[in-house]
Chains A and B, each alone.
Chain A
């Protein structure tokens, strides 16, 4: 449905987006995940038509969007901090897009009522938006974007300003609404929990490029680079040098098991799982225990070299321990 090809955009002569291409299929929720400054909000604004790319194309069902101004695209956008119209009440805000379509007053009233019901705001019709709580404002913003029946919904850090429990409730509601309406959605966030909760597919953005793309479980299980693993906080990243089929690192030597061919002396990053290691006196990985914290199902052990493992038993602080690392627990990152 939506197709972006080779999008380039710079800001004050600094490249902001370089060669972005991706598609969003019918009924699919795609999440753009990345740290702040990775250009993900700009990408949304390009799709919405609020900014123009320097190179590349945005197509909807094969039609080039470039000549179509933002207000004719019928792409809904939910803003960070909502951008509700302060001079209009709840009804006025939700009805705004419908009025732009010059619908008859009866139909507008009816659709506003349906929308408010859908986001659990029935009875709020005549409230001033400046008197609403953050969560309520968020729902009004969602109802406003949904009311016109957009072809595509876009969310720019929509839950950024809300507290944890409210976030979880709204995420569940959002998932339900997206599922019910079947509208394709692009969701921008820097919070991976939000991303994993809402997305069918995740696009990881780093310094203006898509560094990984895939289903949440797949991305989590197989990070495409050391940066991705670090950003997601998946495992321990260890840098080492290839020597005769082994990888020599500061914490021990590991067998090299990688799909790529590596030359001797080449630097590689290894990702060592936090869970699958086992304490063993002849283990190949060693370290001194720096900190031990109890967590629900075991102990989180931090070593003085910065590595973190989850163990069933608590070692003593200051003790040197060794681990056996099964080959399944080590991945070579490209």
Chain B
């Protein structure tokens, strides 16, 4: 009996034990060996930690500056194009980091269309706008990524904020100013803090954006782990940084879950419905702010495909004649294996590798996740105890996971299938969370009714369970696929150079000289964006009504 209860967990825990807890234990072992670390290492750690905290704090504040008015805009007003604009602000959160970085690069980078256009127009020798490689680029990308968190969490509270509370305060003598500070803000406060904490957590553990847009002079804990492990081969220092990263994430997550329970304070469930803007101040706010949001979100997203289809400079070096016009060259070039190319394979194989890894991730995470989710759908004591352990991989950053693989399986690194294993660890908690509610929604009476009507156990599964959970399975599969396709942090550490994935290839091509390399990076990023976008769309369509958001 006990064996039958443990059976569904066997696969998951063997897998997690081998590919998550064991690597993590190896990191811990390595990091606790202080003797290897020098004074300089500790100083570096201190500076890196300070910068990580500083940029995360600054990013969070800026995200609030954009997100709060946007939350007000969406919660309070109806206007033309509202749902389109809302979708536009939500897309970046689901996109792979390299796509976002490439998008900003295509718009404002030294080879971005804006700089090249200005250079051509005014015959300048160097790009007039310096954006990539500055702190500003990191901050802008973080705001671009996380604004939707503030918009959704705070907007949700705003739309459930009883409008008569304002009126009650008004009839008691509160001026509009006092109403905001004494009523609206205090009620919004818990959800505001929860949203800020979540944004801060994402900014604190950000990797791809900082590596691609910040350049070598900006190192957060994540980026420093990557440099120490891959450039300096200083694994003990990388492990030590990982430990600090883990402890911080743990602390922030605990604070966040505390805040979320406070945010659940019961407000009257009367809906505060959005209105059409009437007085001129409302109209001006809606017009100006929606235009600002549109510009901020649309340019990085649309610059990318645009730049991948236009030739704005010489293909190689500055001596060649500059060429202009629409072109498919960047795409056709992906199929060519040029000498001197960074890889010894045509770049299109990166797409093939990515698709293969993603498919493997889907199969693996479903095979491991489905039995666990089935067991969780009817929780006993065992399940309630095991449940939180399943979520632990969420707490470790992707770079830490990659480092763990290097430390634990160093000699096996020539084995290319470590990449989908790492992706599965990352996708698994999401897959289980997507499957469990659907499985739990099937009342046992349905199965019992089917049995009394003469269905055998496999028949019951096929006729009752499968039709109900089909959508959830598909949604979980698409999610795992999209996660694997865009994953950059862990992949950057464990991939084999002869088996690059799409995000890795984009990163490598972006850091190479020459217009052709740049164009190919744009083309690959566009392909990744389209595939990931299709995945996001599919998940939205498959989403069960009433499923939670974060």
Report which A residues bind B (CB closer than 8 A): 45, 48-50, 69-77, 79, 81, 83-88, 96-97, 99-101, 130, 144-145, 148
Q: Are A77 and B168 also in contact (CB < 8 A) when A86-B187, A96-B182, A130-B266 are? A: yes
Of B174, B186, B189, B268, the residue contacting A100 (CB under 8 A) is B174
Q: Are A86 and B170 also in contact (CB < 8 A) when A71-B175, A79-B164, A96-B182 are? A: no
A101 partner residues in chain B, CB cutoff 8 A: 173
Nearest chain B CB to A2 CB, angstrom units: 15
Nearest chain A CB to B166 CB, angstrom units: 9
CB nearest neighbor in B for A154:
B171
A-B contact pairs, 17 of them (CB 8 A): A71-B170, A71-B171, A72-B173, A74-B173, A75-B171, A76-B172, A79-B164, A81-B268, A83-B164, A83-B165, A83-B167, A86-B266, A87-B183, A87-B186, A99-B182, A100-B178, A148-B172
Nearest chain B CB to A223 CB, angstrom units: 34
Tell me whether A48 and B171 are in contact (CB under 8 A): yes
Tell me if B's interface is mostly helix, strand, loop or mixed: helix
Task: State which residues 229-257 of B face A: CB under 8 Å.
Answer: none
Nearest chain A CB to B223 CB, angstrom units: 41
Q: Are A87 and B171 also in contact (CB < 8 A) when A96-B182, A100-B178 are? A: no
Q: Mark B478-497, 1 if CB is under 8 A from A, else 0.
A: 00000000000000000000
CA distance A69 to B189 in the complex (A): 27
CA distance A100 to B172 in the complex (A): 8
Tell me whether B170 and A85 are in contact (CB under 8 A): no
Q: Are A71 and B267 also in contact (CB < 8 A) when A79-B164, A83-B168, A85-B165 are? A: no
B265 partner residues in chain A, CB cutoff 8 A: 86-87, 130
A96 partner residues in chain B, CB cutoff 8 A: 169, 172, 174, 182
Task: State which residues 173-220 of B face A: CB under 8 Å.
Answer: 173-176, 178, 182-183, 186-187, 189
Interface residues on B, range: 20 to 34
CA distance A86 to B263 in the complex (A): 12
A88 partner residues in chain B, CB cutoff 8 A: 186
Tell me whether A77 and B173 are in contact (CB under 8 A): no
Q: Mark B261-280, 1 if CB is under 8 A from A, else 0.
A: 00001111010000000000
Nearest chain B CB to A242 CB, angstrom units: 51
CA distance A30 to B23 in the complex (A): 78
8 more contacts with CB within 8 A, not counting A49-B170, A83-B162, A85-B183, are: A45-B167, A48-B171, A71-B170, A75-B171, A86-B266, A96-B172, A145-B172, A148-B172
CA distance A96 to B186 in the complex (A): 13
Of B165, B167, B266, the residue contacting A77 (CB under 8 A) is B167
CA distance A74 to B173 in the complex (A): 6
In the complex, which of the residues B162, B168, B170, B266 has the most CB atoms of chain A within 10 Å of its own CB atom?
Answer: B168
Nearest chain A CB to B277 CB, angstrom units: 16
A49 partner residues in chain B, CB cutoff 8 A: 170
A148 partner residues in chain B, CB cutoff 8 A: 172-173
A70 partner residues in chain B, CB cutoff 8 A: 167, 170-171
CA distance A308 to B459 in the complex (A): 65
B267 partner residues in chain A, CB cutoff 8 A: 86
Q: Are A71 and B266 also in contact (CB < 8 A) when A83-B167, A83-B168, A96-B169 are? A: no
CB nearest neighbor in A for B187:
A87
Q: Are A50 and B174 also in contact (CB < 8 A) when A83-B165, A86-B267 are? A: no
CA distance A1 to B530 in the complex (A): 69
CA distance A47 to B34 in the complex (A): 74
CA distance A74 to B187 in the complex (A): 24
A74 partner residues in chain B, CB cutoff 8 A: 173
CA distance A202 to B444 in the complex (A): 60
A130 partner residues in chain B, CB cutoff 8 A: 265-266
Nearest chain B CB to A146 CB, angstrom units: 11
B266 partner residues in chain A, CB cutoff 8 A: 86, 130
Tell me whether B172 and A97 are in contact (CB under 8 A): yes
CA distance A85 to B175 in the complex (A): 16
B270 partner residues in chain A, CB cutoff 8 A: 81
B187 partner residues in chain A, CB cutoff 8 A: 85-87
B162 partner residues in chain A, CB cutoff 8 A: 83
Tell me whether B183 and A77 are in contact (CB under 8 A): no
Nearest chain B CB to A140 CB, angstrom units: 11
CA distance A75 to B265 in the complex (A): 30
Q: Are A79 and B175 also in contact (CB < 8 A) when A86-B267, A87-B186, A87-B187 are? A: no
A99 partner residues in chain B, CB cutoff 8 A: 182
B176 partner residues in chain A, CB cutoff 8 A: 71
Tell me whether A144 and B172 are in contact (CB under 8 A): yes
CA distance A130 to B267 in the complex (A): 8
Tell me whether B171 and A77 are in contact (CB under 8 A): yes
A81 partner residues in chain B, CB cutoff 8 A: 164, 268, 270
CA distance A100 to B176 in the complex (A): 12
CB nearest neighbor in A for B176:
A71
CA distance A84 to B266 in the complex (A): 12
Nearest chain A CB to B268 CB, angstrom units: 7
CA distance A284 to B164 in the complex (A): 56
Tell me whether B170 and A50 are in contact (CB under 8 A): yes
B183 partner residues in chain A, CB cutoff 8 A: 85, 87
CB nearest neighbor in B for A144:
B172
A79 partner residues in chain B, CB cutoff 8 A: 164, 167-168
A76 partner residues in chain B, CB cutoff 8 A: 171-172
CA distance A75 to B174 in the complex (A): 12
Nearest chain B CB to A118 CB, angstrom units: 17
CB nearest neighbor in A for B179:
A71
Nearest chain B CB to A69 CB, angstrom units: 8
CA distance A83 to B164 in the complex (A): 6
Nearest chain A CB to B266 CB, angstrom units: 5
Tell me whether A50 and B171 are in contact (CB under 8 A): yes
CB nearest neighbor in A for B167:
A50
Nearest chain B CB to A10 CB, angstrom units: 14
